[in-house]
Amino acid sequence: MKRLGNHTVVAALITVLAVGMCSCITYRSSYFVPSNERPVFIDRFRLTPRVFAFKESRVTSERVIKGAYSITIRVQDSTTDLEHYEWRLTEQQTDSLADRFLQQVSAVFVVDSLLLHEIPGEPRPMVLLPDTKSYAPRRENFLTLKFGEITLPREAMRLRAVLHVTRPGLPLTADSAVFQLGRIELEDRGLLMFDNQTQGY
């Protein structure tokens, strides 16, 4: 019984030590989320911006050290259920449906540029151009517009993003969508299970 008790004490000490070491790991999150009260649409397509650096990543991770924010906008068909895809489709079938969805979007609007304004201060906006060669990830009812990566100062707590588009037709007409974004900046200590939980698209 005494030997069993010693083993229990040793195991408990090891557990406490391991938990203590893990709790010393620092994680950071830095990204912007839309603060618009209502979703933003162009016709039936819902637009969701994403300005993302990292989420719950170790302070020593390459992504945290780099500190760059990837800029994307998801365009999704608001008339379909995005949670129920036909996952049994082959890659070729998925690509075909995704191409058709891109054609449907392009028939309504073509993206020209994205302007990012830092608030407050309203300095000169950053002009970002879309990558028209890559819309990934994408499926039969959504696609992702990519605008590359930028660096933002820690003082920039709010952003206003203005997406400029052209509507096809005769004559061509200009249009835009405006998004307000607020910064999420967190730092915490935790266990290894929280390491590098990069989410989103």
Average pLDDT over residues 19-36: 75
Closest CA relative to residue 109, chosen from 162, 48, 176: 176
Residue 137 lies in a domain: yes
Average pLDDT over residues 123-136: 90
Distance CA 201, CA 199 (A): 7
- Domains in the chain: how many in total? 1
What CATH number does the domain containing 163 carry?
A: 2.60.40
Average pLDDT over residues 115-123: 80
Asked whether the whole model's pTM tops 0.85, one would answer no
> pLDDT-derived band of residue 121, with 50, 70 and 90 as boundaries?
low
Q: Are 177 and 165 in contact (CB under 8 A)?
A: yes
Residue 105 has pLDDT above 50, yes or no: yes
- How far out from the chain centre does Cα 54 lie? 9
> pLDDT-derived band of residue 116, with 50, 70 and 90 as boundaries?
very high
Distance CA 142, CA 135 (A): 9
Residue 9 lies in a domain: no
Q: Are 86 and 62 in contact (CB under 8 A)?
A: no
The residue range of the domain holding 141 is 27-194
Residue 104 lies in a domain: yes
Residue 91 lies in a domain: yes
Q: Are 23 and 173 in contact (CB under 8 A)?
A: no
User: Which residue has tokens 């449906």?
Assistant: 97
Return the pLDDT at 85. 60
Residue 16 lies in a domain: no
Residue 45 lies in a domain: yes
pLDDT in tens, 48-79: 999 999 888 888 888 888 889 999 999 999 99
Residue 33 has pLDDT above 80, yes or no: yes
Residue 196 has pLDDT above 70, yes or no: no
Residue 18 lies in a domain: no
Residue 13 lies in a domain: no
Share of the chain above pLDDT 70, in %: 77
